[in-house]
Amino acid sequence: MNDTTDAFDGLDATTGLDLLRTGRITVEGRLTSASNATLYCTVSDAPRSAACVYKPVAGERPLWDFPDGTLAGREVSAFSVSEALGWGIVPPTVHRDGPFGEGMVQLWVHGDTTVDLVALSHQTDNADLRRMAVFDAVINNSDRKIGHLLPTAGGHLYGCDHGVSFAEDYKLRTVLWQWRGEPLTEDALAALESVRDMLKDPGSALSDVLGRHLSGPEVYALGGRVDLLIHHRIHPYPAPDWPSVPWPPV
């Protein structure tokens, strides 16, 4: 797990994850631009305290292409895949009870506001950004917008909002298509092979999390995407019959 502290109120990611699981959540406000109920909170268990995002299942807006009440679990599943890849793309995330019932709770990333996110999204020589493109292909992310890129002052790149991921059908929509058709890096292939091994082991931590939050066919489809990436050894192409970029892209 990535242990940068600049992003999480001085906490490393491991400590932050423990705090998310055990701390008391206090709602401070609501992010009104979000389509689902997204609450800005503080999680604390004195003396530790950190900002976090809380998305209660009760506040999820019904979608035509995802089962009701599953978005929080998909966010937690995305964190589990990120950890299995070893890339620390998703901030520490848990599924737990909160002031408005069960939901997803994720550490708030204090990002570097001096970074031009539009320019960042077009880079071709950024290794973290390229890993994120692979990660999105694995989880079948249908909503990778520019605003979901969270660079930190310490140089690490996080991503957020993975609730509409893990569909069985190919739904990849992203602003990160600059590597389409290019060979995967050896680093990416090694990480994918590690994930494939974990998916084949029903006793792995990854299999446990996915089994609790995704359907059997969705987990099977995830394994198929990993196998295809390893077999073809290239970044995927956009689907010809599916919008390839989310709208709005920012």
**pLDDT tens by residue, 231-245:** 999 999 999 988 999
Q: Which pLDDT tens digit goes with each residue over 97-134?
A: 999 999 999 999 999 999 999 999 999 999 999 999 99
Phi-psi region of 105 (alpha: psi -120 to 50; beta: other; left: phi over 0): beta
Asked, for residue 3, whether it belongs to a domain, the answer is no
Q: Give me the domain span that covers residue 222.
A: 13-232
Alpha carbons 29 and 18: distance in angstroms, whole number: 23
In a domain, 238, yes or no: no
Name the pLDDT band for 4 (thresholds 50, 70, 90): low
Q: Is residue 87 part of a domain?
A: yes
Mean pLDDT of the chain, nearest integer: 96
Question: How far is Cα of residue 148 from the mean position of the Cα atoms in its chain?
Answer: 10
Q: How far apart are CA 19 and CA 15, in angstroms?
A: 6
Indicate whether 2 pLDDT > 80.
no
Q: 3-class SS at 80? A: helix
Asked, for residue 240, whether it belongs to a domain, the answer is no
- Total structural domains in the chain? 1
Which tokens hold the place of 164? 């509409």
What band does 1 get if pLDDT is binned at 50, 70 and 90? Answer: very low
Task: Indicate the pLDDT class of residue 34, thresholds 50, 70 and 90.
Answer: confident
Residue 3 confidence class, pLDDT cut points 50, 70, 90: very low
Is the preceding peptide bond at 240 cis, omega within 30 degrees of 0? no
Tokens of 106: 């994720």
CA-CA distance, 143 to 131, in Å (whole number)?
16
| pLDDT tens-place string over residues 124-159 | 999 999 999 999 999 999 999 999 999 999 999 999
96 CB-near residues (< 8 Å, 6+ apart): 20, 21, 102, 103, 105
Average pLDDT of the residues in 34-54: 94
Residue 92 within any structural domain of the chain: yes
| CB-based burial label for 248 (10 Å; 0-12, 13-18, 19+) | exposed
Read off the pLDDT of residues 204-217 as tens digits, 9 standing for 90 and up: 999 999 999 999 99
Tell whether 220 is covered by a domain.
yes
Give yes or no for residue 228 having a pLDDT over 90.
Answer: yes
Q: Is residue 112 part of a domain?
A: yes
Residue 46 has pLDDT above 90, yes or no: no
The residues with which 216 forms a beta bridge, in sequence order, are none
Q: Could you tell me if residue 244 is inside a domain?
A: no
The predicted model scores a pTM of 0.96
Residue 94 has which token pair? 């848990």
Residue 6: CB atoms within 10 A of its CB come to 15
Closest among 222, 218, 183 to 85, alpha carbons compared: 222
Pairing relationship of beta strands 149-151 and 103-107 according to DSSP bridges: unpaired
**What mean pLDDT do residues 38-60 have?**
96
- pLDDT at 200 exceeding the cut of 80: yes
Q: Which two tokens stand for residue 146?
A: 């520019």
The pair of structure tokens assigned to 235 is: 């970044």
Percent of the chain residues past pLDDT 70, beyond the cut: 98
Give me the torsion for CA of 232, 202, 106, 63, rounded to 10°.
70
